[in-house]
A = this chain, B = another copy of it.
């Protein structure tokens, strides 16, 4: 089979892999879903509370990446104390249905998968 080396996700340099690796990382999916759940802008610390085990450093890095990818917008209010609000961009919003499908699939399958893992481990 001849593959298109630009768009084929199996090709090593493929941008699709680049894009998917971002949402596939440990925190991005959770941040996007938290923002969508809330349905309005959230502050840094608010997102941190919604995801109890994310470190400050990783939350910062994740938000920067999502911002760079135009999935989340960041607005700084020049006040004292400073306030920064995050919300989904239009593009970020288009990704939500897909993420929800993944969550649904996980919910439907996780029981069987975890049982299978245990059986497999023995």
- Which residues of A does B touch, CB under 8 Å? 1, 7, 9-12, 15-21, 23-26, 29-30, 33-34, 37, 50-53, 67-70, 91, 94-95, 98, 101-103, 105-107, 109-110, 112-114, 116-117, 120-121
Which residue of A50, A98, A110 has the most chain B CB atoms within 10 A of its CB atom?
Answer: A110
Residues of B within 8 A of A98 (CB): 98, 101-102, 105
Q: Are A15 and B68 in contact (CB under 8 A)?
A: no
Q: Are A106 and B16 in contact (CB under 8 A)?
A: yes
CB-based closest 3 A-B pairs: A24-B24, A12-B53, A16-B106
Residues of B within 8 A of A9 (CB): 29-30, 33, 103, 106
Q: Are A37 and B7 in contact (CB under 8 A)?
A: no
- Nearest opposing residue in chain B for A117, CB measure: B68
In the complex, what distance in Å separates the CA atom of A91 from the CA atom of B109?
Answer: 8
